[in-house]
Chain A
């Protein structure tokens, strides 16, 4: 269903803002946290340009919400004060990004990496936001992006099997509803080979868990018939900087509900 002012989409970010995202990645000098901020702010700018502004007028087609998991807490991540419903209307967020020298996009999300990564608590929080949103906009599309560097792995080890199963079930319930997409992006500082939109779960427990809580990518995201030969999961493991950019570009297609020119992503197991 196409997003409209009466049927607005909800875009949520859950960002791992932990200490480990202060490391450089991809062989460059930029730290992970800076890349995450740059890409998410660019993503939000793209929303403004492609979905919110229409013929010079601002339309309330996208509600925005963002949380950051860091230092043992999950906090509201946007500059505008957190409203009771935990999402902002387009009027509230579109012009609220801070203009910063040297940054192409205004800064809606800014943080410094610190502490550990309470992603379980983060997912519980966004689940509540999604439930509330669904009560008001039953048929609207919802796009959740989880961005983590994978240091969450050690915390996953501290969770019981029952807790992990419960979290997967929460997402299974959300997935059962139409128009919900959960893109899980594991951004690595380890320079390992990326696994992009796989069709099958990885072998390791950590990868399988993240795969399980992600959704299938909507077919509308892929405008190249070759890419739609098989169902692909909205899950990326060990993304490098270039992959992160392309994955978020592709994710934006889901939000606009309107395919854009084909990406150059190389999928798992396919020739470039």
Chain B
């Protein structure tokens, strides 16, 4: 389980769900930057890492990672608050884009200064980053609809690649869903529609990044039980997948993070560096033998 190496015949799918609701305008702790700005930076950096670490082994873009980025906020284009957010591409009929298409679809290159948001100031100020996903924050939070959308993308991908590493869905949000009718079992059910789907290598994975205005006063990463910080934190952790053992191992080894055994793929109020680390761990896929090349042992999310 969760040991399948990705190839061009059996590529990985990574779907990012981004809360683009109005409350993402809130300040991230005392950083002076908004949650939306921090999330935007982290997502673009993750996409860049996936591109360079997994999809360009020898200077040419190869289709190892299929990618989807959807934003959810009520002022959006399909009437349900869900919209495609990946670069200049139109939403593909499959719901995900091939690397050869998304790799060069960035809106622009940008020099980012995240200031105090980044613990490592030198790192933050020197980042020239391709921007595939823009910062935005408007409207309500249709998270259940976001999960449903991700579930349909996962379904299509599994139908096309039933032997592949299980699809990974990463949800980045700051607040409570506004489409669960006050009943969290609706959120759990929507999450299950992602997690119950499976390839021959295991069930699809749902990881949740939870940012709220309490900032680093309440920071939790990879808990081994759903936290009691708030009902919402509890429910969001509960609907997260258990981090596969291989990801735990790589996280401990490469990033020196103490991840407990059988931990939930959930983090609450991580600082910026921790958020980037979380996304690295959550997007760990190992590139395997190519059709016409030697086996490559690249852990996509892990190489800096």
A sample of 14 cross-chain residue pairs with beta-carbon separation below 8 angstroms, ordered by A number, consists of A19-B242, A19-B245, A19-B261, A20-B249, A20-B261, A20-B262, A22-B244, A23-B249, A24-B246, A29-B5, A31-B246, A113-B245, A114-B262, A116-B261
Q: Encode contact with B along A111-154: 1 for CB under 8 Å, 0 otherwise.
A: 01111110000000000000000000000000000000001001
> Which A residues are CB-close (under 8 A) to B208?
none
Q: Which residues of B contact A (CB under 8 A)?
A: 1-3, 5, 224, 242, 244-246, 248-249, 253, 260-262
Are A20 and B5 in contact, CB atoms less than 8 angstroms apart? Answer: no
CA distance in complex: A18, B245 (Å): 10
| A40 at the B interface (CB under 8 A) | no
| A189 at the B interface (CB under 8 A) | yes
Are B248 and A18 in contact, CB atoms less than 8 angstroms apart? Answer: no
| A215 at the B interface (CB under 8 A) | no
* Interface size counted on chain A using CB atoms at 8 A: 19
CA distance in complex: A115, B248 (Å): 13
> Which B residues are CB-close (under 8 A) to A238?
none
CA distance in complex: A114, B202 (Å): 13
Are B261 and A24 in contact, CB atoms less than 8 angstroms apart? Answer: no
Are B262 and A116 in contact, CB atoms less than 8 angstroms apart? Answer: yes
Given A18-B261, A20-B261, A31-B3, A189 and B249 touching (CB < 8 A)? yes
| A214 at the B interface (CB under 8 A) | no
Are B262 and A23 in contact, CB atoms less than 8 angstroms apart? Answer: no
> Which B residues are CB-close (under 8 A) to A21?
245
CA distance in complex: A20, B1 (Å): 12
Residues of A contacting B: mostly: loop
Q: Encode contact with B along A1-42: 1 for CB under 8 Å, 0 otherwise.
A: 000000000000000001111111000010100000000000
CB of A133 to closest CB in B, whole Å: 31
CB of B128 to closest CB in A, whole Å: 35
> Which A residues are CB-close (under 8 A) to B253?
190
CB of B215 to closest CB in A, whole Å: 28
Are B1 and A31 in contact, CB atoms less than 8 angstroms apart? Answer: yes
Are B249 and A117 in contact, CB atoms less than 8 angstroms apart? Answer: no
> Which B residues are CB-close (under 8 A) to A112?
1
Are B262 and A31 in contact, CB atoms less than 8 angstroms apart? Answer: no
Are A22 and B2 in contact, CB atoms less than 8 angstroms apart? Answer: yes
Task: Specify which of A18, A29, A189, A190 is in contact with B262 (CB 8 Å cutoff).
Answer: A18
CB of B98 to closest CB in A, whole Å: 26
Are A22 and B1 in contact, CB atoms less than 8 angstroms apart? Answer: yes
Q: Which residue of A lies closest to B243 (CB)?
A: A19
Extra 14 A-B pairs, beta carbons < 8 Å, given A19-B262, A20-B262, A114-B262: A18-B261, A18-B262, A19-B242, A20-B245, A20-B248, A23-B248, A23-B249, A24-B249, A29-B5, A112-B1, A113-B245, A115-B262, A116-B262, A190-B249
CB of B224 to closest CB in A, whole Å: 8
Are A22 and B260 in contact, CB atoms less than 8 angstroms apart? Answer: no
> Which B residues are CB-close (under 8 A) to A115?
261-262
The 5 closest A-B pairs by CB, nearest first: A22-B245, A23-B245, A19-B262, A23-B249, A151-B261
Are B261 and A117 in contact, CB atoms less than 8 angstroms apart? Answer: yes
CA distance in complex: A32, B175 (Å): 39
Among B2, B3, B244, B261, the most chain A Cβ lie within 10 Å of the Cβ of B261
Task: Specify which of B1, B5, B246, B261 is in contact with A154 (CB 8 Å cutoff).
Answer: B261
